[in-house]
């Protein structure tokens, strides 16, 4: 499979565009990430802080959050804590300082699923988003309740052994 085919492949097993919430206070960075995700069959929604993010979550939980830890007015780690009290939505944290290991470690300990440091490649960010979404989908597919009921999910399909 060619790289351009891989990059334009569907983002979810059910082929619905993934809804990605980008929490970033830099308008240029926000636009760049959002445009790139839209070009690759994802739906980008954006927030510059806590209030806008809460409004987006109220309208429907996104499939994944890209969260900048260094927002002008707010601490991204506090926002991550807030997200985790309400949701298990996957979160990729971004930070602008490669030397700031403490923020990355604390972010992962608080429940972030991955991180990437600025400046980063949009192609790498897309790959990380897809990897996190795949892991989440695989986790849902391996639901213990479904296995107890004789139901298995894989690759967008469902096998129900009781309905044979």
Note the pLDDT of residue 138.
Answer: 81
Residue 119 has pLDDT above 50, yes or no: yes
**CB atoms closer than 10 angstroms to residue 5:** 8
What is the pTM (predicted TM-score) of this model? 0.77
Note the pLDDT of residue 154.
Answer: 63
Give the C-alpha separation, 112 to 135, whole Å.
Answer: 13
Note the pLDDT of residue 61.
Answer: 94
The residue range of the domain holding 44 is 3-7+15-163
For residues 89 and 129, is the Cβ–Cβ distance under 8 A? Answer: no
Hey, what are 123's tokens?
Answer: 């192609």
Domain count for the chain, please give it: 1
Q: Over the stretch 4-58, which tens digit does the pLDDT of each residue have?
A: 444 444 444 456 899 999 999 999 999 999 999 999 999 999 999 999 999 999 9
Residue 137 has pLDDT above 90, yes or no: no
**SS3 call for 57:** helix
Note the pLDDT of residue 117.
Answer: 93
- Give residue 99's pLDDT band: very low, low, confident or very high (50, 70, 90): low
- Mean pLDDT across the stretch 53-70? 95
Give the C-alpha separation, 111 to 105, whole Å.
Answer: 10
Note the pLDDT of residue 150.
Answer: 64
Give the C-alpha separation, 16 to 163, whole Å.
Answer: 27
Cα 62 to chain centroid distance, Å, stands at 8
Q: Please report, for the domain that includes residue 28, its CATH number.
A: 3.40.50.2300
In sign, the C-alpha dihedral spanning 109, 143, 19, 34 is positive
């Amino acid at each position: 499979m060619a790289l351009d085919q891989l990059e334009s492949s569907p983002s979810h097993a059910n082929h619905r565009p993934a809804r990605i919430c980008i929490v970033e206070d830099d308008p240029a960075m926000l636009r760049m990430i959002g445009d790139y995700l839209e070009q690759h069959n994802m739906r980008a929604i954006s927030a510059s802080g806590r209030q806008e993010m809460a409004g987006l979550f109220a309208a429907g939980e996104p499939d994944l959050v890209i969260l900048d830890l260094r927002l002008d007015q707010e601490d991204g780690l506090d926002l991550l804590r807030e997200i985790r009290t309400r949701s298990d939505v996957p979160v990729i944290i971004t930070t602008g300082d490669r030397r700031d290991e403490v923020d990355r470690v604390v972010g992962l300990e608080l429940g972030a699923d991955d991180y990437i440091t600025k400046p980063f490649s949009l192609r790498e960010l897309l790959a990380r988003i897809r990897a996190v979404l795949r892991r989440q989908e695989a986790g849902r597919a391996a639901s213990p309740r479904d296995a107890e009921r004789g139901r298995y999910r894989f690759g967008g399909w469902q096998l129900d052994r009781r309905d044979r």
